[in-house]
Chains A and B, each alone.
Chain A
């Protein structure tokens, strides 16, 4: 409705406004073209493809919902959902708690703090294939660092990447190591908390924990929200680590949905089936994101509310 009234308004508006609108479209043109060409167009085509069988060699063949039915009956599909779900359910909350904890530590006023901030952020900058290979070597059952350290304290470490029971844990540990990005966003949120509020709480006799619980937590809840949404979306799409470190193995113990999808698209050339997979992933992400958004009035506290109350 807002849109409509604005359009009518602009029709009434004079030459100057029309010129302004024209320039606006010129400026926005990269985004408009990009949205159509690389996002909206492909999204629609992908939905269409998900109802076809297509392998590049012949034209797409319409098969209705058969891809989805096939998926439903496919054990490996359910396994990939299970792997991605376990990974997300463990790594996202663990990452959030650790990131917040680190951010609080890094928010202390200690000289030279920027060195620590840089170190903790480093794994986010140096990520990718090289580091994934480094992790393969670190998790090496016989000669890897982790098992050496465990050995030193008298524990016989598992054969991480070859053992079905431990491979996913290894990938979760890897993800936790790269928690610096989330941490930095929390730190930004913490620095936005007005000092007077903390002081006021202290004068009122609030202890450290109470300050954290009743001042810090509510005031950074919008940051937590942001990190949670991005964390879920990211965890459900993790690819490089899964591909390089374990490539879905051992015995599909790390067959993430992204790896499963990649194989169907670019190894087996089942473009229709992989488009259907992508749509299922999209729906899962959408539902989870909506759930988080829906739940937000309960636990996310917005600045405007505070101003409204005072």
Chain B
């Protein structure tokens, strides 16, 4: 409890004023950020008759929690949720494995052409996805993978440039002594990676896992082009079909209930991970 006292003592009144000004500005901005979410929840709890009113009601007179149940069942959310989680979890597994495995080669082992491959990998970060889109689609089409989950999952096992980069930067900071002594004890290089490097990489792996989860969960384009069968859809694609479909038509309260449900998984993950996650990015930093 003595920190705030010191905190005040150290500051001039001008600095205190600045801090208060900053806090007020931040509060205003935070309100702007939150209004859309508030509007979403507000709409999702309304009765049909309350949705299109002028002036609008911000707090529904009688919150209709049942809207969530209706949206869930009418839109067959269970199916889309299980499709989505199957894809997301496999993609996470593939991404974590390939990034942590490949990065070890780039960080620790010397081989001709290694740095060239690494630079090439980083250069692909600037390549617009559209360039590889059509040939990749045609390739998956040719081997009969269109309308299966495979085009969404398999590429994850072949290393994402940004995550390989993050893992490599992290490995480089680990002192070599641990690996050297394990080597003396007769461990193979693969055992060293698995038993020594991976357990030390918890924070980076967690960061990559969160990024991958959010990215894959929110991805719309890939499932849109590869999954044409309605029963194969992910939540993201299914939502666009709900909009204006006969199932809910113009019933905005049900659509917003569905949208509210759809943002829960990334929201929960973020709330669990945020302190550590936001701080992780801030303190490790990204050096340009």
Contact = CB atoms under 8 A, between A and B. Distances in A.
A297 interface: no
Given A116-B30, A135-B36, A148 B133 contact: no
Contacts of A274: 133-134
Contacts of B279: 114
A118 B278 contact: yes
Nearest to B158: A34
B131 A46 contact: yes
Interface string B1-20: 00010010000000000110
B262 A130 contact: yes
Interface in B56-112: 56, 98, 101-102, 104-106, 109-112
Nearest to B274: A118
A188 B131 CA distance: 32
A41 B135 contact: yes
Interface string B21-46: 01101100110111111011001000
Interface in A263-283: 265-266, 271, 274-275, 277-279, 281-282
Majority secondary structure of chain B interface residues (helix, strand, loop or mixed): helix
Given A25-B105, A30-B158, A126-B267, A3 B134 contact: no
Interface string B109-124: 1111110110011001
B202 interface: no
Interface stretch (A70-78, A88-96, A163-171, A223-231): A223-231
Query: Of residues B55, B109, B221, B282, which shows the largest number of chain A Cβ atoms within 10 Å of its Cβ?
Result: B282
B252 A137 contact: yes
A289 B286 CA distance: 19
A138 B39 contact: yes
A31 B121 contact: yes
A68 interface: no
B56 A148 contact: yes
B19 A133 contact: no
Interface residues of A, number: 101
B102 A130 contact: no
Contact of A39 (B54, B124, B285): B124
Contacts of B36: 131, 134-135, 138, 145, 177
A180 to B, nearest CB: 8
Interface string A279-307: 10110011001000000000000000000
A56 interface: yes
B116 A3 contact: yes
A108 B112 CA distance: 47
Contacts of A154: none
Contacts of A281: 128, 130-131
A129 B120 CA distance: 32
Interface string A1-20: 00100110010000001001
Nearest to A273: B134
B129 interface: yes
Contact of A110 (B22, B127, B258, B267): B22
Nearest to B107: A27
Contact of A21 (B40, B111, B141, B219): B111
Contacts of B127: 39, 43, 282
A25 B130 CA distance: 29
A110 B101 CA distance: 40
Interface string B47-58: 000011111100
B183 to A, nearest CB: 11
A120 B135 CA distance: 38
B102 A30 contact: yes
B104 to A, nearest CB: 5
23 contacts: A28-B111, A35-B121, A38-B158, A42-B139, A108-B18, A109-B7, A110-B19, A114-B278, A122-B270, A123-B33, A128-B218, A128-B236, A129-B240, A130-B236, A131-B263, A134-B39, A137-B39, A137-B252, A143-B51, A177-B33, A237-B130, A258-B130, A286-B126
Given A148-B55, A188-B284, A265-B133, 16 more contacts: A3-B112, A17-B110, A23-B105, A32-B117, A35-B117, A45-B138, A108-B22, A114-B275, A126-B263, A130-B259, A131-B263, A137-B39, A177-B32, A185-B281, A226-B286, A274-B133
